[in-house]
A and B are shown apart, each in its own frame.
Chain A
Amino acid sequence: MSLDIGDRAPDFTLPDTAGEEHSLAGPAVVVFTCNHCPYALAWHDRIAAAARDYPNVRFLAVNPNDAVRYPRDSLDAMRERVEREDWPMPYLHDESQEVAHAFGARTTPDVFVVYAEGRLRYRGAPDPDHQDPSLNAGWLREALDAVLAGEEVARPETDPIGCSVKWRQ
């Protein structure tokens, strides 16, 4: 299953690294990400900067990977990373992978902007090039600026680029 632009995003509740539960209720940026993927790591600071620059928008980072085959994505490893780094958003553990399946997440990272009435308004990469920090998650910011201004998102969909989501086998 995959969401199309304009579809209602599925509600979910997931625990963060401290065990606190977070729900998708209302506008939010949902970023499927992880610890072990170089693309997710390369884009992380840019996404975190966007989370800080849009304090009125909820950002939810979700790790959907199978931690049995990829121990660097275990809950303990997620917790260690959050304790070591300064995260401006909760890091949620999608152990069952149901949320990733419901969104149709394909890669880490894979960015979804959910806005008015819980509708999907942007899906894709944070910006065009994981190697260029100056791009500053520009596609994500464009989408947020548009939805916050009540306008259509000019580029509502881009190809997510990154490591494949590590599904359970």
Chain B
Amino acid sequence: MTVELLWWEGCPSHPEALAELRRILHEEGVEAEVSRVQIEDDEQARREHFPGSPTIRIDGEDIVPPGEGAPFSLTCRVYRTRDGRFSPLPDPEDLREAIRSRVA
């Protein structure tokens, strides 16, 4: 399993995203290195199809696929928690579900 965390320094959520990702991988018994990819400019954002920081991909797939036509740029990503709140991080259960679906 390949696990990537794509991040941009203008958004302060990536350390928390990395900690959360590692915690849930550990809880699910998955031994996978998290590959961190820093996005540094708009051109790289477009090339990497980066919809905002943080973006987590497992085996190349975004755990919360962005909507069709979502722009790729240096920005903070807006997630929704399962109870409907705005959040700079994906809901932990979305992350857990994405991991489980790959190890099942």
Q: How far is the CA of A15 from the CA of B57 in the complex (A)?
A: 42
Q: How far is the CA of A164 from the CA of B10 in the complex (A)?
A: 6
A161-B12, A164-B10 known; A70 and B87 CB under 8 Å?
Answer: no
Min CB distance A77 to B, Å, is 13
Asked if A36 contacts B87 (CB within 8 A), the reply is: no
Q: Is the interface of B mostly helix, strand, loop or mixed?
A: loop
Asked if A38 contacts B10 (CB within 8 A), the reply is: no
Interface residues on B, range: 10 to 19
Contacts of A67 in B (CB 8 A): none
Among A42, A44, A70, A133, which residue has its beta carbon within 8 angstroms of that of B88? A42
Q: How far is the CA of A164 from the CA of B13 in the complex (A)?
A: 12
Asked if B85 contacts A39 (CB within 8 A), the reply is: no
A37, CB-defined interface residue at 8 Å: yes
Interface residues on A, range: 10 to 19
Contacts of B77 in A (CB 8 A): 38
A69-B73, A130-B88 known; A36 and B12 CB under 8 Å?
Answer: no
Min CB distance A34 to B, Å, is 10
Contacts of B87 in A (CB 8 A): 38, 42, 130-131
Contacts of A37 in B (CB 8 A): 76, 78
Asked if A39 contacts B73 (CB within 8 A), the reply is: no
A162, CB-defined interface residue at 8 Å: yes
A36-B78, A163-B10, A164-B10 known; A41 and B73 CB under 8 Å?
Answer: no
Q: How far is the CA of A162 from the CA of B87 in the complex (A)?
A: 11
Smallest CB gap from A132: residue in B: B85
List 23 contacting pairs A-B, 8 Å CB cutoff, sorted by A. A36-B75, A36-B76, A36-B78, A37-B76, A38-B76, A38-B78, A38-B79, A38-B87, A41-B78, A41-B86, A42-B87, A42-B88, A44-B86, A69-B42, A69-B73, A70-B75, A130-B87, A130-B88, A131-B85, A131-B89, A161-B12, A162-B12, A163-B12
Other A-B pairs beyond A38-B79, A70-B73, A163-B75, 16, CB < 8 Å: A36-B76, A36-B78, A37-B78, A38-B86, A38-B88, A39-B76, A39-B88, A41-B78, A41-B86, A42-B85, A42-B88, A69-B73, A70-B75, A161-B12, A164-B10, A164-B11
